[in-house]
Amino acid sequence: MRRRSFLQAGAAASVLGSLPRLAFAQQLPYDPRPGAWRTYEVTTRVEILKPVGASRAWVPLPAVESDYQKVIGSNWSGNGAARITSDGKYGAAMVASEWTPGVKAPVLEVVSTVATRNRVVDFTKRNPALKLDAASAKFSTAATELIPTDGIVRKTALEITRGKSSDVDKARAIYDWVVDNTFRNPKTRGCGVGDIKAMLETGDLSGKCADLNALYVGLARSVNLPARDVYGLRVARSDFGYRSLGVGSPNVTRAQHCRAEVFLIGYGWVPVDPADVRKVVLEEKPQPTTLADPIVPPVRAKLFGAWEMNWLAYNEAHDVKLPGSNGPAVGFLMYPQAETGNERLDSLDPDNFKYTITAREIKA
């Protein structure tokens, strides 16, 4: 498990990080490379507009410490009883707040600070010592409620990887298959659900990041490749001018994005993101284009093995039981959640929930 750290973030002189919006003709070659760390402050404000009896809210915190992200700290304020807690299985951290029935306007504000930097795997340099222990490998190949690893999932993965002998070749074959056979559906609510068995059984391989990247994870796990979803949030523009791969304003309320990783012996955890390739196809131009369009292959080539880190990672958790809730588990924790009067509010309806998320880059 990755080390988790939560420190009280102090005040810092900040300015909004911004790059000039690049026009389509000015796009740079898509080539994320490790460089300097960049620091972002993310503020999530939750309000329960029509409380009925007792109310509760849960706000996800960045909880992934790695070579691409450092958690600097989180603090919070509000008029409820708030605390940091965790799902207990994946280390998915959150601020949980409770309000008594007498509180007429429940509010919670959480401020998190993280530093990120681009990540790239060099496939020309293999270190055989990079392996997962047996317990971690078992954990990262296990089925979840929405990601089974048997039946049609395993059958599909075996067909995709037929004739492939190395883990790298299998992982890349699954990546290419997901890119070639899925598409981003603009009508999908939020980031999707991630019910990969239903996708394969119906033949409807459409959706958004939590669907398409979950499909990658499930297919990989079913042929014993450790893999995981990583749930997070876009916080800045793309340095390469791809408007579909970043955010254009400090308001990132609807900028949630799920990515994926696969563990390959000799290379460690390898970043992948087939869903973002499909996002470029659908959204980069005024009208949807195709995989053959010149804007797509550079992204497709890099998103097996690289991530541009204008994005922060919350957690890698599935089937999250919200502490203190009697309601059902959530498939993943990437959005703020709330309940009032034992009724779960719609996390995909931030205007009526209500919540807002803003992000800014902190300059030294």
Contact 59, 110 (CB under 8 A): yes
Question: Considering the domain boundaries, does residue 246 fall inside one?
Answer: yes
14 part of a folded domain: no
Structure letter (DSSP) for residue 328: P
Classify 45 as helix, strand or coil.
Answer: strand
3-state secondary structure of 220: helix
Among the listed residues 260, 249, 275, 261, the one whose alpha carbon sits nearest the alpha carbon of residue 191: 275
Tokens of 247: 């955010």
Residue 353: DSSP 8-state: H
The whole domain housing 229 covers 120-307
In this structure, are residues 298 and 31 in contact, taking their beta carbons and an 8 Å threshold? Answer: yes
> CB within 8 A of 268, min separation 6: which ones?
121, 130
**Is 242 part of any domain?**
yes
Report yes or no on whether pTM surpasses 0.75. Answer: yes
Tokens of 146: 């929405």
Q: What angle do CA 190, 195, 200 make, to 5 degrees?
A: 120
The mean of the pLDDT values for the chain is 92
Q: Look up residue 41 and give its two tokens.
A: 């402050």
Q: Are residues 67 and 201 in the same domain?
A: no
307, 329, 345 — which closes off a domain? 307
Domain match, 176 and 227 both: yes
Q: Is the alpha carbon torsion for 127, 167, 306, 115 positive or negative?
A: negative
Residues 256 and 331 in one domain: no
**CA dist., res. 310 & res. 116, Å (int):** 8
Residue type, 263: F
- Radius of gyration for the alpha carbons in the chain, expressed in angstroms and rounded: 20
Who contacts 257 (Cβ-Cβ below 8 Å, separation ≥6)? 191, 209, 232, 233, 234, 276, 311
In terms of domains, do 281 and 358 share one? no
Provide the CATH number for the domain around residue 50: 2.60.40
DSSP string, 13-32: -------PPPPGGGPPP---
Name the domain count of the chain. Answer: 2
Q: Tens of pLDDT along 15-42?
A: 333 333 344 445 678 999 999 999 999 9
pLDDT in tens, the chain (364 residues): 333 334 333 333 333 333 333 444 456 789 999 999 999 999 999 999 999 999 999 999 999 999 999 999 999 999 999 999 999 899 999 999 999 999 999 999 999 999 999 999 999 999 999 999 999 999 999 999 999 999 999 999 999 999 999 999 999 999 999 999 999 999 999 999 999 999 999 999 999 999 999 999 999 999 999 999 999 999 999 999 999 999 999 999 999 999 999 999 999 999 999 999 999 999 999 999 999 999 999 999 999 999 999 999 999 999 999 999 989 999 999 999 999 998 999 999 888 789 999 999 999 7
Is residue 326 domain-shared with residue 191, that is, in the same domain?
Answer: no
What CATH code is carried by the domain that includes residue 175?
3.10.620.30
Q: Final residue of a domain: which of 307, 327, 354?
A: 307
116: left (phi over 0), alpha (psi -120 to 50) or beta: beta
